[in-house]
Amino acid sequence: MKNYLGVDWGEKRIGLALANSESQIATPFRTVNNVSELITIIEQEKIKELVIGLPRKMIDGQVDNPKFINFLLILEDKMIAHKINNKIKINFIDERLSSVQADSLKNKKIKQDRDCVSAMIILQAYLDKIYD
């Protein structure tokens, strides 16, 4: 069984969602404040694949957020330091409008943090794509 972690990066906090290859259903998990906390979750939950939402611009689809790029560089460095960089596959998925979807779900069905719900949407989109 493979464990997946969905990641909704934000400048203030990082939303996380979990899923596994058996259920193929993403669920909101929690938020963390930095990459060190993210690495701890990856190790504790025995994550094999990360699914990170790409913060693309609405009009042209470009990813040019220097803070997001810095997040990825720090993540890579920490994964190397913890010797997990070769054990985990990293996937990226367009996250445009995931926060809008999260607000819609949060108000109707899910009583979770917006960032976790966004991470769930990102992860579920990936799972639907690979297990379709």
Q: What is the pLDDT of residues 65-98, one digit of tens each?
A: 889 999 999 999 999 999 998 999 999 998 765 5
pTM for the full predicted model: 0.86
The angle, 0 to 180 degrees and rounded to 10, between the axes of the packed helices 114-130 and 98-108 is 110
Give 63 or 69, the one with higher predicted confidence. Answer: 69
Strand partners, 61: none
- Please give the span between the terminal C-alpha atoms of the chain, in angstroms, as a whole number: 18
Asked whether residue 99 carries a pLDDT value surpassing 60, the answer given is: no
What are the sequence ranges of the domains in the chain? Answer: 3-130
The arrangement of secondary structure in 3-130, i.e. its CATH architecture, is: 2-Layer Sandwich (3.30)
